[in-house]
Structure 1
Amino acid sequence: MNPYESLSPRSFWRTAVAEPEPTAIGDLWTPKFSLGQDDPVLTAGSCFARHIGRALLDQGMNWRDAEPAPPGLTEAERQARHYGVFSFRTGNIYTAAALLQWLSWAYGEAAPPDEVWSEGGRFFDPFRPSVEPEGYDSAEATLAARRATLAAMRGALADARCLIFTLGLTEAWQNRADGTVYPACPGTVRGTFDTERHAFCNFTFAEVYRDLSAAVELARAANPQLRVLLTVSPVPLTATATGGHALTATTYSKSVLRAVAGQLAQEHDHIDYFPAYEIITGFPFKAAFFEPNLRTVTPEGVAFVMRQFFGALAQRPAEPRRDRGAAPAHGEDFWCDDAVLDYYNAG
């Protein structure tokens, strides 16, 4: 007997991917730890992460909104001001460096900068410029609102069971003087771009691994029971500042993020990885889960991802099958040495 004879059909390309209808492809994730309906769950990350909190609520799970909207706002006003989007009003956190930055500020590991942008007599937070679209009355009110978010982060993380964090990008813009990371290039959403003050960076595997590891350690120092579930956003880059092609830049960015998430999940029992990225972008699905712009994930795509998520949480891993019966490889697979492994596929 060799190791492939004891594998289940999910481990073989033919039975797991090629033969099923795309929407019947399943068993993509075996959760490392359980999540009960009463377990407090937090969500943060890139734009794709905004779907997760709502899906958790719809399933009756305990998604924590650490900064609920004040009374009197319409649904449109709540969404515009980023209430109920993530567990905290940080806006999108695209990079591991930005997550570490927010947690470092929350836990006093670093002092938040006093930088505030002003436009038309209104004031905006450079580190979440979209959160308050009409701005604040003063610089102090802007910084006070940020302090409130940092306090909400500390409070929610203190008793959370799980933080679901969605990695989005490796590209970012930094302040040359102090190294702080912006969620968007100054001069795009808000602010003014200054080549003397603002520098582009494209984080490497080592840098993302370092920052994400440090962020998890900070959160778990405050709450040793915290589990972290990582995902990678399937949404491609809107644009790349590398000067390269947007397709190859997207491939680099997502490959690095996926590799870091997988590495950390292998190394730590308290970190897991959920394959939302593969579910949406995997070529068996033929981009069916994208809108015509090939960026926006369709509602059907989001629903498919979340069915995989909740289905895996509800099921135990299947027992491996030990019988054998598939025919040897033919056709194009004849030229691939590893195609012989399909012979041991019991499916």
Structure 2
Amino acid sequence: MHPYKTAPAIAFWSRAVSAGFDPRQACSCDGPLIRTTDLVASAGSCFASNLVPYLERAGLRYLRTEPPHPALADAPAENLGYANFSAAYGNVYTPRQLLQLLRRALGQFRPAEDRWHCDGCVVDPYRPGLRYRASCDAEFDLLTAQHLRAVGDVFRQATVFIFTLGLTEAWVSAADGAVFPACPGTVAGQFDGGQHRFVNFSVAEVTADLEAFVTELRQVNPGVRLILTVSPVPLVATATGGHVLPASVYSKSVLRVAAEEVRQRHADVTYFPAYEIVSGPQAPDAFYAADRRNVTDAAVQTVMGAFLAACGIEASGVAAPARAPAASGDAAAQLSQIIAGAECEELMADEALLGARRP
């Protein structure tokens, strides 16, 4: 006798992957991931926003602390997915960015570079694509304080927090290491090589940031459970100077290892294998669009079918989101439409994707 004699079928590649792959069996968790009584919050890369419509349609309670004022119900929606998450923080790509968001909401960190003055407006460097910007510093201070209160409510009230890790590459302020969601100058602001520094976080750094986030979150919300996932969407571009393919594989590998390290060290932290379901060798070619980067609706539906099954819920279909119309008109209007149509700030790093539409 040896251990493989009694191992279940899911332990063998020939039985669990080569033939009869069932994405619902890929998640190992004790009990349901989310219960109907839970209050769910989430953050992460653009892929993370795909989860939310499924959760809500399945009858789970998704926490939203920063809805638009009723008087603005007819106004165009915010850009870049800022309205897709529990509060209007938009895409959070790295654990360091998430940790700093928590500390900002708790009043423990204030970035030295906390605003940019551009074209008569005050731009939030940590939400650079906002459609509705402050017109002066006083208004910016009020809006930022209101936003951070809403973010703090998310961290305090959620009983389940889902975080989708997206990137290891980031641009930070040389003054204090504050992480920007996009390289300054790509969405807004001006790039300054003396003020803005590129980092590519290591396994040790990502793991330490996740560890700190779990510990500090539970200081204000002791009972919260966490679900970690890794986005299967590759990098738009790399600033390492190398080829984007190995850079992307490095990034996802680091995130996957860090997620596992933190899962093993903390109770009530679960890993859900969205990355493996979409990008593993068993995945059909149709899970990625022709650009081999964007994940298709079929892939999202498969992931969420497995996710809801792990919650004890039968999945239901969700229509694909409407796409923004092609940009037209003057240069300012073109850029505004491009930003509105993009799913994430990261996209703005690739001029080729924006093409002639960008002024």
Cα deviation digits, residues 31-82 of structure 1 (max 9, x gap): 2453211210101011111111221101000111111122254688225374
Q: CA deviation at 1:296?
A: 1.2
Query: For 1:75 and 1:214, how far apart are their aligned partners in 2?
Result: 40
Cα deviation digits, residues 106-165 of structure 1 (max 9, x gap): 1122234462112221221001112x2242211232232222222112222223111000
State the partner residue of 1:327. Answer: none
Amino acid of the structure 2 residue aligned with 1:272: T
Matches within 5 A, 1:12-161: 12-20=12-20, 24-34=22-32, 35-73=34-72, 77-80=76-79, 82=81, 84-113=83-112, 115-130=114-129, 132-161=130-159
Query: For 1:68 and 1:137, how far apart are their aligned partners in 2?
Result: 21
- Asked if 1:275 corresponds to 2:267, the answer is no
For 2:236, what is the secondary structure of its paired residue? coil
Amino acid of the structure 1 residue aligned with 2:8: S
Q: Quick one: percent identity of the two aligned structures?
A: 41
State the partner residue of 2:8. Answer: 8
Query: Is the 2:41–2:158 Cα contact (8 Å) retained in structure 1?
Result: yes
Residues 206/86 of structure 1: CA separation in 2 closer, same or farther (3 Å cut): same
Query: For 1:197 and 1:114, how far apart are their aligned partners in 2?
Result: 9
Matches within 5 A, 1:184-333: 184-314=182-312
Query: Is the 1:31–1:272 Cα contact (8 Å) retained in structure 2?
Result: yes
Query: For 1:144 and 1:167, how far apart are their aligned partners in 2?
Result: 30
Specify every segment of 5 or more residues in structure 1 that has no aligned partner in the other structure, as ranges: 316-347
Specify every segment of 5 or more residues in structure 2 that has no aligned partner in the other structure, as ranges: 314-359
Hey, which bits of structure 1, 4+ residues long, moved more than 6 A?
none
Query: For 1:278 and 1:149, how far apart are their aligned partners in 2?
Result: 34
Q: CA deviation at 1:170?
A: 0.4
Residues 287/76 of structure 1: CA separation in 2 closer, same or farther (3 Å cut): farther
Query: Is the 1:69–1:83 Cα contact (8 Å) retained in structure 2?
Result: no
Q: CA deviation at 1:9?
A: 0.8
Residues 3/43 of structure 1: CA separation in 2 closer, same or farther (3 Å cut): same
Amino acid of the structure 2 residue aligned with 1:18: S
Cα deviation digits, residues 84-111 of structure 1 (max 9, x gap): 4011111111001100111111112223
Rg (Cα) greater in structure? 1
Query: For 1:83 and 1:178, how far apart are their aligned partners in 2?
Result: 25
Query: For 1:58 and 1:69, how far apart are their aligned partners in 2?
Result: 21
Residues 285/94 of structure 1: CA separation in 2 closer, same or farther (3 Å cut): same
Query: Is the 2:82–2:91 Cα contact (8 Å) retained in structure 1?
Result: no
